């Protein structure tokens, strides 16, 4: 079993005729995802990848192909409208890869989606992949993943790949890997992903990777304390970042003590998570955590 995507996912790619959209749509197909349609206004009637039809609108594509999920490669000025268009057509999840969407636009999108039965990942995220289901909706390198029972959730795309590479090298497979994105305003939170992992009988443990800025990691710690029963290894990066300095992601802005790495680490340790000392030890920490869990009497 996986979360968010599986073999029933029928993927629509917005911006499929662009350089990035066409490249990654094919990589998703190569991995096993069922890409059924693309959408680029004004390009309706085209065919890409040999057999994927392109439509002018999402609603037309859904009617013709039964698409039920969206992958967004639309340029920043138009990405918010693209997300709303997919939401109005009932697609979920909507995975927005686009980086650089104005925060004001994302605020409006998140407000619009409030109360609707639509899941948004991102923007500025690597996407989601379920190795056992052979379903990839995003830009992550599929070859490093292997099927297994450890979930991964992260704000950083690069560190997601690093975590997966270490886990796979140690023979630890993944159930689903989710990138929630690094922007200060975004869709799914750690809590929402952890809730799905908690309910997934085929996820035994979770790697959580956080960053400086915001309070999402503290919110995750609160959820772990009250509602999460599976082992979790947590890495917080940015410990050496100067206070007040923007570092990489737009969300990595330290505002007050809550946004600092040490405060996030403290909250997660208090919640019972095994904190990872550094990026090079993600896999080893999870290996030891699993060994310790299995050694305990039932």
* Buried residues in 65-83 as b, exposed as e (16+ CB within 10 A): bebbbbbbbbeeebbbebb
Options 24, 111, 145, 249, the catalytic residue: 249
Neighbours of 234 (CB within 10 A): 27
Nearest to 82 by CA among 47, 35, 122, 51: 122
DSSP string, the chain: --SS--TT-EEEEETTTSHHHHHHHHHHHHHT-EEEEEE-TT-TT-EETTTEEEESSHHHHHHHH---EEEE---HHHHHHHHHHHHHTT--SEEE------HHHHHHHHHHHTTSS--EE-SS--EEEETTTTEEEESS-GGG--EEEEEEEES-HHHHHHHHHHHHHTT--EEEEEE--SSSS-SS-HHHHHHHHHH-TT--EEEEEEESSSSHHHHHHHHHHHH--S-EEEEEE-TTPPTT---SSTT----SGGGSHHHHHHHHHHTT-EE-SSGGGHHHHHHHHHHHHHHS--
Q: What are phi and psi of 217, to 5 degrees?
A: -70, -35
Q: Is 249 a catalytic residue?
A: yes
Interatomic CA distance for residues 298 and 293, integer angstroms: 10
Active-site positions read 249
């Amino acid at each position: 079993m996986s979360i968010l995507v599986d073999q029933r996912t029928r993927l629509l790619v917005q911006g499929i005729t662009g350089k990035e959209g066409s490249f990654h749509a094919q990589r998703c197909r190569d991995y096993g995802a069922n890409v059924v349609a693309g959408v680029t206004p004004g390009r309706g009637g085209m065919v890409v990848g040999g057999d994927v039809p392109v439509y002018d609108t999402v609603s037309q594509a859904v009617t013709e192909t039964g698409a039920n999920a969206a992958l967004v490669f639309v340029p920043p000025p138009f990405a918010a409208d693209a997300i709303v268009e997919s939401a109005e057509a009932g697609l979920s999840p909507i995975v927005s890869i686009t980086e650089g969407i104005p925060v004001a636009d994302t605020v409006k999108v998140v407000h619009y989606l409030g109360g609707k039965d639509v899941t948004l990942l991102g923007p500025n995220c690597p996407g989601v992949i379920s190795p056992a289901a052979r379903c990839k909706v995003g830009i992550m390198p599929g070859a490093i993943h292997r099927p297994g029972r450890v979930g991964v959730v992260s704000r950083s795309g690069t560190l997601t790949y690093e975590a997966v590479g270490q886990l796979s090298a140690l023979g630890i497979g993944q159930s689903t890997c989710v990138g929630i994105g690094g922007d200060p305003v975004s869709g799914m939170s750690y809590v929402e992903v952890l809730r799905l992992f908690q309910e997934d009988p085929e996820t035994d443990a979770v790697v959580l990777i956080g960053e400086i800025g915001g309070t999402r990691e503290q919110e995750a710690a609160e959820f772990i304390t009250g509602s999460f029963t599976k082992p979790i290894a947590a890495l917080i990066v940015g410990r050496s970042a100067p206070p007040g300095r923007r570092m990489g992601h737009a969300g990595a802005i330290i505002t007050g003590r809550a946004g600092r790495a040490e405060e996030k680490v403290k909250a997660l340790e208090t919640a019972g998570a095994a904190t990872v000392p550094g990026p090079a030890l993600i896999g080893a920490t999870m290996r030891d955590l699993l060994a310790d869990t299995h050694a305990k009497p039932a």
